[in-house]
Amino acid sequence: MKPTGLAAALFAAALMMAAPATASDKFDGAWALYIFGDQGVCAVGYRVPIKIDRRLISYNGRTVNPSMVVISDSGLVAIRVNGGAYVVTGNGELSSQSGSGKWAAPTFHCSGRWRAERQ
């Protein structure tokens, strides 16, 4: 895997970490998460099916560590995936039907955007 692909993979890895639960609301349900890298070495694209339940994200039956992806009451999204020397950060906004934002992996000089759609 190219190093820049690893950055996007680290971002997606947040979807595979286990953790405990929190509060319930309008974001609950099945979503499609699209992760895109910018042009050049960062040019990647992934579609990841996720589920949001009480503001916790799960992928493939596993809950994401709530410290990696936080969804506020108003729908603001904060992302911080720490893979040791590799850190991916991001932010954006989620509504009851869709959302979008940006991510960056400074170690790889890589950035991109994400989009989510309720299924």
Give the 3-state secondary structure of 87-101. EEEEEEEECCCEEEE
Confidence of residue 91 (pLDDT cuts 50, 70, 90): very high
What pTM value is reported for the model?
A: 0.77
Confidence of residue 21 (pLDDT cuts 50, 70, 90): very low
CATH class of 3-118: mainly beta
Rounded average pLDDT over 22-28: 73
Mean pLDDT score of the chain: 85
pLDDT per position as a tens digit, 32-60: 999 999 977 788 899 999 999 988 999 99
Long-range contacts of 91-99 (CB under 8 A, 24+ apart): 94/27, 96/26, 96/27, 99/75
The pLDDT value recorded for residue 12 is: 63
Residue 2 has pLDDT above 90, yes or no: no
CA 33-9-105 angle, to 5 degrees, is 100
C-alpha span between 37 and 74 (Å, rounded): 26
